[in-house]
Structure 1
């Protein structure tokens, strides 16, 4: 590969030598000019440092990216599950139960996509047992489909709570359980072809791919998958959230969602929740849009699109990121999750100080909460502590 900075010099020198060769009849001159051309190409055409030409660097960089995204997503989703399960007020809300199941779906997707991400990175074919091909492909698609359907269920629940409060303020417990059971069952039905028709095929290397199903049937299935689990949710959720935004941020009279004394607080809370859900939806579809566009291009052009290795890995990184971004969005947009994260950070800090007391910089850093009043010089510590406790006690659940 020629260095672009030296390309002009090489072309000019080559043109000069070729012209002199064509106009010269002396063989010695031809040999001399040819030797000059070779020396110019050797000195001026230093190869560029190709990132993908260094397998070890290639593996390390993308391996670190995958590891950071997967670890952050697993820890974040476990944190969301833990916070919702440990708070009875949160569990009493239907939308929080949907968010709990969404976090479980994202967690499962990250866990069962990890082996596939490693295999794609190594690029040595399928190295796992044969039964893992059926199981991993099924679980990957199962949790992915559940995530999409749960986002649709959350959109419907929010729409009914915000735009039709007189008929149904929120899902009842029975309705919530029924919807959740339906979501997981429908996701299993859509993912079942991956369990039945994924197997080990050999083409220079072993791969986990479609087996025992015709190409035409597989194409029809992928079209249905694109329409039912991507296009319809995208249009459906965009429409619902557009209507909700018009109600919450429009000039309409919002007294229908609460009485006058509660209107401002509930409106503010519902706006924050809807913003959080919109951001989560947009991130999901942005992460999966490139894969869907690639599929449509292949069908329109009627041939397989050959992608470079780095681009193929980038698409895999995007698909994994879709399950890792939700906890970050929740923590940024929701005050309750931020407070819980501070509590966890404070607990970890206290544990580290207890485990490694020699690293404490001050005698006032690693202290028991009961000793705070004795050690503090400020008369407002107890006031601040009680105000924080009262604010937590009065925290509303997500509406």
Structure 2
């Protein structure tokens, strides 16, 4: 890679890593550091997503440092870190994808099935679901730890051409790309239809059947839910945009038996896209959530004032929300 091409890549990867790590650390601190925010089921899931994205960014650093800085695919770290980094990188990537699917289902229950939401989406059930999810992805990604090692100075897969590995990669494609894509598309379509087309609050407001105070409160609740759904749809859209090119290359090889040899610059670009997915979620929270912007401002500028601030409690969709330390939903 020439210097003219290499320098922009160096800057791009460094910016993505710094922005993504700082952004996810702030999200983790904003939620984990506030007891009231941790009461929200939605915030627990967003905290889990931020942890997965942060860890994914950290464990991809050994992958891009050699090619970006030295123009080499040689593994420059201790040999035992090769399977460890590949394994953990996949674990946190799978956890991020599955968490977004869990968030999607939680939003569906909370908005479309509000009568069942209190029972089904309790903190206990969500914590159990998150724990089971981490156990599942840790087990599913185990082949990356078993079948990766340093071979002729390169961290590579030792069974990459075997039928077994191709079957595993096809299962991975279905479990963490196709099925999530299908479920999220169907579920968010129903949620959007409920919020924008058939929401009883909208019908009631057009008939002037609510008093001014109730109407204003219902409008705020509806607007908040819509913003959350917009934010989550944006997060999912970014994921599928970032990972679709990689999946197309895999499908062309595994299903159509068409081998593609992309240029080295393209491979680096695909890695940058993958990092963009993990780095962009905190920016999307800030873009779509006014409450998160308020909490972010409190974390960055006035922590002492926040502690002394009077807390005003109110409820949206049976979820307790506290003044400036409000839930993201």
How far did 1:130 drift?
Answer: 1.4
- Normalised TM-score (structure 1): 0.71
Q: Which residue, 98, 113, 124 being the options, matches 1:149?
A: 98
C-alpha spacing 1:393/1:154, structure 2 compared with 1 (3 Å): closer
How far did 1:388 drift?
Answer: 10
Aligned equivalents of 2:59 and 2:159: distance in 1?
A: 24
Q: Which residue, 108, 114, 126 being the options, matches 1:176?
A: 126
Q: What stretches of structure 2 of length at least 5 have no aligned partner?
A: 204-208, 314-320
How far did 1:168 drift?
Answer: 2.0
Q: RMSD in angstroms over aligned alpha carbons? A: 2.7
Q: What stretches of structure 1 of length at least 5 have no aligned partner?
A: 1-51, 349-367, 370-385
How far did 1:101 drift?
Answer: 0.5
What pairs with 1:7-18 in structure 2 (closer than 5 Å)? none
Aligned equivalents of 1:74 and 1:66: distance in 2?
A: 12
How far did 1:209 drift?
Answer: 1.6
> Which one has the largest radius of gyration?
1
Aligned equivalents of 1:213 and 1:115: distance in 2?
A: 20
Greater relative CO (CA pairs within 8 A, separation 6+): 2
Q: Match of 1:132?
A: 81
Aligned equivalents of 2:298 and 2:128: distance in 1?
A: 34
What pairs with 1:1-399 in structure 2 (closer than 5 Å)? 52=1, 54=2, 56-121=3-68, 122-169=71-118, 171-202=121-152, 206-211=153-158, 215-254=162-201, 261=214, 262-346=217-301, 394-395=323-324, 396-399=326-329
How far did 1:312 drift?
Answer: 1.2
Question: Would you identify which runs of 4 or more consecutive aligned residues in structure 1 move more than 6 Å?
Answer: 386-392
Once the two structures are superposed, residues 234-276 of structure 1 have per-residue CA deviations (whole angstroms, 9 ceiling, x without a partner) of 01001110000000011342489xx962422211111111111
Q: 3-state DSSP class of the match of 1:118?
A: helix
Aligned equivalents of 2:160 and 2:198: distance in 1?
A: 55
Q: Report if the CA contact (8 A) 2:292-2:328 is conserved.
A: no
Residue correspondences, number = 307
Q: Match of 1:36?
A: none
- Normalised TM-score (structure 2): 0.86
Q: 3-state DSSP class of the match of 1:324?
A: helix
Once the two structures are superposed, residues 347-398 of structure 1 have per-residue CA deviations (whole angstroms, 9 ceiling, x without a partner) of 69xxxxxxxxxxxxxxxxxxx99xxxxxxxxxxxxxxxx9998799634423
C-alpha spacing 1:343/1:211, structure 2 compared with 1 (3 Å): same
